[in-house]
């Protein structure tokens, strides 16, 4: 699922951002490697390519999950806040774009500046907020980790195009009585 070099780069990032106080960068690399069951970073780099596929899969999945939990958005683009549940059911932070022909809200994903939003979101939520920036990370989040993720615009539109093509559902002449009859809760910006 993940490439060896991607795992090595991810461990380096985790070591760089870790809270191992008073350790040099090399000592942090060793400490992070031990957290994944290796003697040190050299052992991690040497052993990783030779692990059996099932063992490598488990190590890489755990490593990438920790990486995505602590990474900051790096792309200079809009991000979307999406929520995955097993099934997979996808919800998203949204904005209202109109009413459909039977009076229900029509909502599309609302873009946000990932670099400015991530710290606030991580402080706001108790559960992890993943930063997902490539296909492997997205598939792992979608099928294994679940929860909340910030996903860059192009990747989100590639995987969830139906969430972004809802303008066709908007009715210009909806009867306000139909809207009232739907009795929806309009206090939530989360849509499916």
Q: pLDDT tens for residues 109-138?
A: 999 999 999 999 999 999 999 999 999 999
For the segment 125-178, what is each residue's pLDDT rounded down to a tens digit? 999 999 999 999 999 999 999 999 999 999 999 999 999 999 999 999 999 899
pLDDT of residue 96: 94
pLDDT of residue 144: 93
pLDDT of residue 1: 64
Distance set, CA 153 to CA 9, 58, 62, 78, 86 (Å): 24, 29, 25, 5, 23
Residue 109: count other Cβ atoms within 10 Å of its Cβ.
25
pLDDT of residue 182: 87
H helices of 36-174, where? 41-47, 53-70, 114-124, 135-140, 153-159, 161-164
Sign of the CA dihedral 144, 11, 73, 134?
A: negative
pLDDT grade for 185, boundaries at 50, 70 and 90: confident
pLDDT at 44 over 70: yes
Instruction: Tell me what the pLDDT averaged over the chain comes to.
Output: 93
pLDDT at 23 over 90: yes
More confident residue, 69 or 185: 69
pLDDT of residue 19: 85
Distance of alpha carbon 132 from alpha carbon 138, whole angstroms: 6
For residues 60-81, average pLDDT: 92
For residues 177-181, average pLDDT: 90
pLDDT grade for 88, boundaries at 50, 70 and 90: confident
pLDDT of residue 127: 94
Distance set, CA 149 to CA 12, 45, 72 (Å): 22, 28, 11
């Amino acid at each position: 699922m993940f490439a060896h070099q991607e795992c090595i780069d991810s461990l380096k990032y985790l070591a760089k951002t870790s809270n191992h106080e008073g350790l040099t960068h090399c000592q942090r690399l060793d400490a992070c490697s031990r957290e994944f069951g290796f003697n040190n970073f050299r052992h991690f780099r040497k052993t990783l390519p030779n692990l059996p596929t099932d063992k490598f899969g488990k190590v890489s999945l755990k490593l990438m999950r920790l990486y995505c939990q602590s990474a900051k958005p790096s792309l200079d683009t809009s991000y979307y806040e999406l929520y995955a549940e097993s099934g997979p059911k996808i919800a998203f932070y949204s904005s209202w774009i109109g009413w459909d022909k039977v009076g229900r809200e029509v909502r599309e994903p609302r873009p946000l500046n990932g670099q400015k939003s991530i710290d606030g979101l991580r402080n706001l939520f108790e559960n992890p907020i993943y930063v997902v920036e490539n296909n492997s990370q997205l598939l792992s989040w979608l099928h294994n980790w679940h929860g909340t993720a910030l996903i860059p615009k192009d990747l989100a539109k590639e995987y969830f195009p139906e969430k972004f093509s809802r303008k066709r559902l908007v009715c210009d002449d909806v009867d306000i009585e139909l809207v009232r009859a739907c009795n929806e809760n309009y206090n939530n910006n989360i849509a499916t």
